[in-house]
Amino acid sequence: MKINFIQFLGFLLFSTSPLFVAGQDTLIQAGSEWKYYDAGNEPSGNWTDLNYNDTSWASGFAQLGYGDGDETTVTDDDARTTYFRKSFLVNNPIQYQSMLLKLLRDDGAVVYINGTEIWRDNMSSGSVSYSTFSNAMVSGSDEDAWLDRQIINNLVVGMNTVAVEIHQQAFSIFNSDISFDFQFLADTFKQDSIIRGPYLQNGTSNSMVVRWRTADLSESILKYSTDINTITTIIQDPMRKYNHEVLITGLQPATRYYYEVYNESDTLSAADSSQYFQTNPISGQAVPTTIWALGDCGSANNNQRAVRDAYYNYIGNKHTDVMLFLGDNAYQDGTDSEYQNAIFENMYEAMLSKTVAWSTIGNHDAHSASPSNQSGPYFDIFSFPKQGEAGGVPSGTEAYYSFDYGNVHFIVLNSESLGGLGTGGSMYSWCQNDIQNTNADWIIGVWHHPPYTKGSHDSDFEPQLFQMRNNFLPMLEANGVDLVLCGHSHSYERSYFLNGHTGLAFSFDSAQHVVGANGGGDGKIGGDGAYLKETIGSNAGKGAVYITAGSSGKKSGGDLDHPAMFSSLNELGSCVVEVQNNQLDMKFVRENGQIDDYFTIIKNMPVTSINSVSKDNRPSLEVHPNPSSDMINITTEAKLKFVQVFDNKGTEIKFISGHPTSISVKDLPNGLYIVAGTTANGQHLFQKLVVGK
């Protein structure tokens, strides 16, 4: 088919492929000579390492493999897994901005550069061994297909090594071949493409921040729409930069928007069904909420990926509403390049592009970042609410802040800055006002240093842990905190349903510190029973569960015998918290998919909804006159259970039970509001209201 000049120009301008500028070096050519090991077992020692001695391995030119007849070098057809290595010299790695790997594989492959895994295809998560089969059989034209993977530069001066293991799918008469070839291309000039993100930050019920990093200076251009086929609304910042941050405002609550990222000449990240952002529901509204919490995840290794994949398998196609990093997100020092490997590349990019990530600062993050002046990579990478824009009281700092998601209020504290942990400090004062200002049904506290742990850290001795327990816990508990999520110790430790335990571990007394008849049990429906947070009787308002969940990247053991803990596990995993109305369920999902612990808290409060927010087939809610400065009339064919009026920050201003036909807005300052009606069956109906003449 011929293409004319205009079509060709259009292709150049609008191709979704990265635009290569100039200067590409080929570090490994297709058809190169490789060392290989096909002895029918796993090579001894760390065969992926740069310095591994592979002199005893055979060598041959690619394509390597057997069974197809197109191989240049035929390897042993008895080997279930065949191992390949190639070393190459790089004198000036800094000249390379980004790199492209191309892989021909049949069936599964794991690729390492200098001992670090950077690509896995057609293989399950977790550790692999000689006997691990690939996920699926590769056949037909796929056997000759080159797969691409863009990576950032992680080469070193001098010798570098690529190591690849090719796994057979299963031995059968239908699959008696393997194939391997590889190319390594490096761009000496910057390449106009996204090298970080896009990722979502600071989501509210009417706004969203989208961030990304480009390899070259470029304009920030973002398009979005609720219709994936008609993405037209555009935001453009002509200032050319590497790190892009776009604030989108005027959005509808609880709505999914698809988005695309551009530079001035190209699509950098095209919309698809998995690239979207979803605005928060209006603060205070009870919607089913899924929270994924990861503590001390930043190992940038396969443990971390296994924990990730176990959660991905758990959640499937369901949307994750909140992603929480509990600190120490990138080892060893929280540098920008460590964040690239531990968070953004070959790690959480699929989740970060559709779910807002929030974080608290860990001690390792603080090696390179300073909460006192909000400087360093941690503060450069994340955008957190300082003005209360996501709900809560304005803190004026990103070191500690709060946000709402539906009927859950999150209070994120900075437990790293020891000097700021006193009861007379600014953070304490802010926190007390914040927790006494929320109307959310659930309150979750988040910080790094756990009040109770006997893992790789000890809460009896270390000052931050001690101070958080002594200073903040009494205040948080007095104001009804329900759940506290921390990291720091690389283990999973989960408490009973507690109140008032601020002493050392030995002083824990279940008769004194456990709340309710079920509080000292397992918290499991079907077991000892869920933990009950009462509103009447002597236990009213008391009880919280404390979780140390710092094993999302590595596990480091410890005594694991804190008496306040129901469960103490030296296992990898992450926490899934699911809130629906008056029930909170938590599961600890291991890296192998097993759920090793779970519990439920049930809160004795009126249930306002049992359905998620749905935009489909909802009756309309009309408000008139609109604008108004006096009385507004409300009409809807639905029968309302109650009506709320929210300001533009999502704060509830009015609550009227029953089905009012009119509401006075005389007392409201001029501005934009949301009138929300909730029906008896839990449907939420919204209408914007302008108060003013």
Partner 1 sequence: MHKIITILFLINFCNYTIFAHGDLDKRIQAKTKAIAQAPKNSTLYLERGFLYHQHEEWDNALADYLQAQELGLQEKILYYRMAETYLELYLFKSGLICTQQYLAQDSLDVKIHKLRGELFYKSRAYDDAIYSFEYVIQHSVDLTPENYVTLADVYATKGISQKNLALEVIEQGLEKLGSQVFVLQEQKLKYYKKFNLTKQALAQYDIIINSNTRKERWYYQKASYLYQQKKFKAAKTHAEAAKKAFEMLKPHQQKTKAMIQLLANIHTLLQNLENQ
Q: Which is nearer to partner 1, 228 or 478 (CB)?
A: 478
CB 580, CB 567: distance < 8 Å: no
- Taking CA atoms, 104 is separated from 131, 170, 614, 656, in Å, by 21, 18, 44, 64
Is residue 422 within the footprint of partner 1 (CB under 8 A)?
A: no
Closest distance of CB 418 from partner 1, Å: 8
Closest distance of CB 690 from partner 1, Å: 21
Indicate if the alpha-carbon torsion angle 436, 440, 443, 446 is positive or negative.
negative
Q: φ, ψ for residue 619 (rounded to 5)? A: -65, 155
Query: Which residue stretch of 43-51, 188-196, 232-240, 460-468 sits at the interface with partner 1 (rule: CB under 8 A)?
Result: 460-468
Is residue 461 within the footprint of partner 1 (CB under 8 A)?
A: yes
Select from 651, 678, 679, 683 the one that contacts partner 1 (CB under 8 A): 651
DSSP 514-537: B-SSSTTS---TTTT--EEE-SSS
Select from 399, 498, 586, 675 the one that contacts partner 1 (CB under 8 A): 399
Distance, CA of 548 to CA of 552 (rounded, Å): 11
Select from 131, 604, 620, 661 the one that contacts partner 1 (CB under 8 A): 604
Select from 213, 448, 457, 684 the one that contacts partner 1 (CB under 8 A): 457
Q: Which is nearer to partner 1, 433 or 661 (CB)?
A: 433
Range 349-388, binding partner 1 (CB under 8 A): 363, 370-375, 379, 386-388
Closest distance of CB 405 from partner 1, Å: 17
Query: Which residue(s) pair with 486 in the sheet?
Result: 548
Select from 68, 117, 462, 578 the one that contacts partner 1 (CB under 8 A): 462
Map residue 607 onto helix, strand or coil.
coil
Select from 59, 73, 188, 439 the one that contacts partner 1 (CB under 8 A): 439
Query: Which residue(s) pair with 212 in the sheet?
Result: 244
Q: Which of 648, 566, 655 is nearest to 606 (CA)?
A: 655
Is residue 437 within the footprint of partner 1 (CB under 8 A)?
A: yes
Query: Which residue stretch of 175-183, 252-260, 427-435, 612-620 sits at the interface with partner 1 (rule: CB under 8 A)?
Result: 427-435
Q: In sequence order, what are the residues at sequence separation of 6 or more whose Cβ sits closer than 8 angstroms to the Cβ of residue 508?
A: 501, 562, 563, 564
Q: Which is nearer to partner 1, 592 or 608 (CB)?
A: 608
Select from 406, 420, 521, 523 the one that contacts partner 1 (CB under 8 A): 420
Map residue 429 onto helix, strand or coil.
helix
DSSP 61-82: ESSEEESSS--SEEPPTT-SEE
Query: Nearest 5 degrees, angle CA 18-CA 23-CA 27?
Result: 90
Closest distance of CB 470 from partner 1, Å: 13
- Look up tokens 């992450």; give the residue: 574
Q: Which is nearer to partner 1, 237 or 652 (CB)?
A: 652
> What is the chain's length?
693
Closest distance of CB 605 from partner 1, Å: 5
Q: In sequence order, what are the residues at sequence separation of 6 or more whose Cβ sits closer than 8 angstroms to the Cβ of residue 438?
A: 391, 392, 402, 404, 409
Phi-psi region of 202 (alpha: psi -120 to 50; beta: other; left: phi over 0): left
DSSP 39-50: SSSPPSS-TTST
Query: Which residue stretch of 39-47, 127-135, 164-172, 540-548 sits at the interface with partner 1 (rule: CB under 8 A)?
Result: 540-548
Q: Which is nearer to partner 1, 198 or 284 (CB)?
A: 284
Select from 540, 595, 607, 680 the one that contacts partner 1 (CB under 8 A): 540
From residue 499 to residue 538, the character string flagging contacts with partner 1 as x (rule: CB under 8 A) and all else as - is ----------------------------------xxxx--
Select from 95, 116, 150, 479 the one that contacts partner 1 (CB under 8 A): 479
Cβ burial of 20 (10 Å; 0-12, 13-18, 19+) is: middle
Q: Which is nearer to partner 1, 196 or 554 (CB)?
A: 554
Binding-site size for partner 1 (CB under 8 A) equals: 59
Is residue 463 within the footprint of partner 1 (CB under 8 A)?
A: yes
Closest distance of CB 379 from partner 1, Å: 7
Closest distance of CB 4 from partner 1, Å: 52
Q: Which of 165, 50, 59 is nearest to 103 (CA)?
A: 165
Is residue 302 within the footprint of partner 1 (CB under 8 A)?
A: no
Select from 441, 493, 522, 585 the one that contacts partner 1 (CB under 8 A): 441
Distance, CA of 544 to CA of 564 (rounded, Å): 12
- The continuous run of DSSP H or E covering 211 comes out as strand 208-225
Q: Which of 331, 65, 16 is nearest to 192 (CA)?
A: 16
Select from 134, 456, 552, 580 the one that contacts partner 1 (CB under 8 A): 456
- The continuous run of DSSP H or E covering 248 comes out as strand 233-248
Is residue 396 within the footprint of partner 1 (CB under 8 A)?
A: yes
Residues of this chain that interact with partner 1 (CB under 8 A) are: 363, 370-375, 379, 386-388, 393-397, 399, 418, 420, 426, 429-430, 433-434, 436-439, 441, 454-458, 461-463, 475, 477-480, 489, 533-536, 540-542, 556, 558-559, 603-606, 651-652
